[in-house]
């Protein structure tokens, strides 16, 4: 039997090639893309300007299928979070953040995450697998047309775009799932699909240096880096990946990336952790660290979860930290916490992951040993 092709898996060039295999001309691919990504139509028979012969070819050979929605919750502040089924007991989370002049969708790229940052609940779920293109772009497809429905815009009608910005900041490290992530990015940017500006699509990475360079050549979008520390020893303890790609390498990669980026700065995300990375000295170290990297800082109040053992810096400390950076001429913002009442805030996305890296099992064992031998006994073996 011929495998069914999910058209959400195909970027513009791949869809043209697929239509060619069916004996169709390239303009048919553009028609298909518009029906799927601009009108939200998954029924080929409803694609009325396609030739009947093409609709017949597609029926039984192709489909348009995004991950199934398990749950859909809306916060008191309007933030909306979907839990999506990606099979074999795995579920991912996607979050929409409405603001006055834009709507931002936060997309996941992996079921779980192998980087295991200390302050992120996703990493404590462990890692199962990379998402496919259809599972990544399917989050945007699903969310855009679900949001249109709530506005009374039916499928098949080209209404006002609800999602104006996309951030690859959900579950997973995007650059460790490189090819599917880049294919999804190309669809987001394509004028016959979502037509988003490169400036309005942001990829956030914990610092996979070789892939930052590769991204600059293949699909340079706005870059955000999860920094969270001002020196290597501290960052090693918070982000195990830093042992492989230390700060000097990461800063050099950021400088190289800016030669190709749509924005003339890198955003450094910095999670504010009480008595861990929030002192005046840490702020002064940051100023030195980024001296040669055009950047802005986004300070993120930590969203606590039990397994982390960490606390949020108080508001006064966050403001004082921000002032030191601002006084040094660095553009600095403090992120407003959104959706924390539905666990949709930064660092809270956990989904449901069948952990094949056994992170939770190892954490439990470490907790047992620390209870028996003291809090400083042992250290979880991190995956890098």
Which CATH number does the domain housing residue 100 bear?
Answer: 3.20.20.70
Query: What is the pLDDT, as a whole number, of residue 306?
Result: 74
The pLDDT profile of the chain, 384 residues, written as one tens digit per residue, is: 568 999 999 999 999 999 999 999 999 999 999 999 999 999 999 999 999 999 999 998 999 999 999 999 998 889 999 999 999 889 999 999 999 899 999 999 999 888 988 888 776 778 889 999 999 999 999 999 999 999 888 887 777 889 999 999 999 999 999 999 999 999 999 999 999 999 999 999 999 999 999 999 999 999 999 999 999 999 999 999 999 999 999 999 999 999 999 999 999 999 999 999 999 999 999 999 999 999 999 999 998 877 778 999 999 999 999 999 999 999 999 988 755 654 545 444 555 667 565 555 545 554 555 456 554 444 433 333
Location of structure tokens 């000295």: 281
Does residue 337 sit in the same domain as residue 189? yes
pLDDT tens digits, 331-371: 999 988 755 654 545 444 555 667 565 555 545 554 555 45
| Cα–Cα nearest to 189, from 211, 214, 217, 222 | 222
Q: Are 96 and 104 in contact (CB under 8 A)?
A: yes
Strands 295-301 and 222-226: unpaired
Helix (H, G, I), strand (E, B) or coil at 335: coil
Q: Are 5 and 62 in contact (CB under 8 A)?
A: yes
Query: What is the pLDDT, as a whole number, of residue 305?
Result: 78
The verdict on residue 295 lying in a domain is yes
Does residue 177 sit in the same domain as residue 313? yes
Q: Are 355 and 88 in contact (CB under 8 A)?
A: no
Residue 203, H or E segment: strand 201-205
pLDDT tens digits, 77-88: 899 999 999 998
Percent of the chain scoring above 90 in pLDDT: 75
Query: What is the pLDDT, as a whole number, of residue 3?
Result: 87
Query: What is the pLDDT, as a whole number, of residue 157?
Result: 77
CATH label of the domain that carries residue 41: 1.10.150.530
**Could you list the residue range(s) of the whole structural domain that residue 31 is in?**
5-63
Cα 260 to Cα 381: distance, rounded to the nearest angstrom:
36
The verdict on residue 215 lying in a domain is yes
Does residue 42 sit in the same domain as residue 134? no
Does residue 168 sit in the same domain as residue 275? yes
The verdict on residue 169 lying in a domain is yes
List the structure tokens of 102: 């834009």
Cα–Cα distances in Å, from 125 out to 6, 113, 153, 190? 28, 8, 37, 34
Does residue 87 sit in the same domain as residue 59? no
Helices within the chain (DSSP H only): 12-21, 26-33, 52-58, 121-124, 133-150, 178-189, 209-218, 232-238, 247-257, 280-289, 315-327, 359-373
Which one of 16, 34, 63 terminates a domain?
63
The three-point CA angle 159-160-166 to 5° equals 120
> Can you say whether the dihedral through the CA atoms of 298, 383, 247, 305 is positive or negative?
positive
Helix (H, G, I), strand (E, B) or coil at 351: coil
User: Which residues, listed in sequence order, are joined to residue 273 by a DSSP beta bridge?
Assistant: 312
Q: Are 95 and 103 in contact (CB under 8 A)?
A: no
**What's the number of domains the chain is made of?**
2
The verdict on residue 384 lying in a domain is no
Location of structure tokens 């699509």: 201
Instruction: Kindly state the DSSP code that residue 343 receives in the 8-state scheme.
Output: T
Does residue 184 sit in the same domain as residue 234? yes
Does residue 182 sit in the same domain as residue 276? yes
Helix (H, G, I), strand (E, B) or coil at 359: helix
List the structure tokens of 260: 């190709």
- Residues assigned a catalytic role: 93, 346
The verdict on residue 382 lying in a domain is no
Query: What is the pLDDT, as a whole number, of residue 370?
Result: 47
Cα 110 to Cα 165: distance, rounded to the nearest angstrom:
20
Does residue 28 sit in the same domain as residue 157? no
Query: What is the pLDDT, as a whole number, of residue 341?
Result: 59
Does residue 79 sit in the same domain as residue 139? yes
Which one of 63, 87, 106 terminates a domain?
63
Cβ count within 10 A of residue 329:
8
The verdict on residue 275 lying in a domain is yes
Helix (H, G, I), strand (E, B) or coil at 72: strand
Cα 319 to Cα 179: distance, rounded to the nearest angstrom:
39
Share in percent of the chain as helix, strand, coil (round to 5): 40, 20, 40
Cβ count within 10 A of residue 65:
16
Give 244's Cβ-side CA count (13 Å radius). 12
Does residue 286 sit in the same domain as residue 189? yes
The verdict on residue 379 lying in a domain is no
Does residue 182 sit in the same domain as residue 218? yes
The verdict on residue 381 lying in a domain is no
Does residue 59 sit in the same domain as residue 150? no
Which one of 41, 63, 85 terminates a domain?
63
């Amino acid at each position: 039997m011929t495998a069914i092709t999910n058209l959400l898996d195909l970027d513009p060039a791949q869809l043209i090639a697929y239509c060619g295999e069916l004996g169709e001309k390239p303009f048919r691919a553009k028609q298909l893309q518009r029906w799927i990504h601009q009108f939200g139509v998954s029924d080929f028979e409803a694609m009325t300007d396609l030739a009947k012969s093409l609709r017949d070819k597609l029926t039984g050979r192709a489909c348009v299928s995004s991950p199934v929605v398990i749950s859909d919750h809306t916060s008191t502040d309007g933030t909306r979070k979907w839990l999506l089924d990606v099979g074999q007991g795995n579920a991912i989370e996607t979050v929409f953040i409405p603001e006055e002049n834009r709507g931002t969708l936060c997309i996941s790229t992996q079921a779980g995450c192998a980087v295991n940052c200390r302050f992120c609940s996703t990493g404590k779920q462990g890692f199962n697998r990379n998402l496919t293109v259809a599972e990544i772009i399917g989050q945007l497809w699903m969310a855009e047309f679900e949001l249109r429905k709530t506005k009374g815009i039916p499928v098949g009608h080209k209404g006002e775009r609800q999602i104006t910005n996309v951030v690859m900041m959900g579950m997973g490290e995007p650059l460790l799932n490189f090819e599917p992530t880049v294919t999804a990015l190309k669809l987001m940017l394509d004028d016959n699909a979502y037509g988003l500006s490169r400036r309005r699509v942001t990829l956030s990475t914990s610092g996979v240096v070789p892939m930052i360079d590769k991204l600059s050549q293949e699909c340079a979008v706005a870059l955000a880096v999860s920094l969270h520390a001002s020196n290597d020893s501290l960052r090693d303890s918070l982000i195990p990946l830093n042992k492989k790609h230390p700060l000097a390498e990461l800063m050099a990669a950021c400088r190289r990336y800016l030669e190709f980026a749509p924005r003339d700065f890198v955003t450094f995300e910095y999670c504010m952790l009480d008595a861990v990375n929030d002192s005046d000295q840490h702020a002064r170290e940051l100023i030195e660290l980024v001296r040669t990297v055009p950047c802005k800082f986004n300070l993120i109040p930590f969203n606590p979860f039990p397994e982390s053992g960490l606390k949020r810096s108080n508001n006064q400390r966050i403001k004082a930290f921000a002032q030191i950076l601002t006084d040094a001429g660095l553009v600095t913002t403090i992120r407003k916490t959104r959706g924390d009442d539905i666990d949709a805030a930064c660092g809270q996305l956990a989904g449901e992951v069948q952990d094949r890296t056994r992170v939770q099992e190892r954490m439990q064992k470490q907790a047992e040993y620390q209870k028996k031998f003291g809090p400083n006994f042992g250290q979880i073996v991190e995956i890098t």
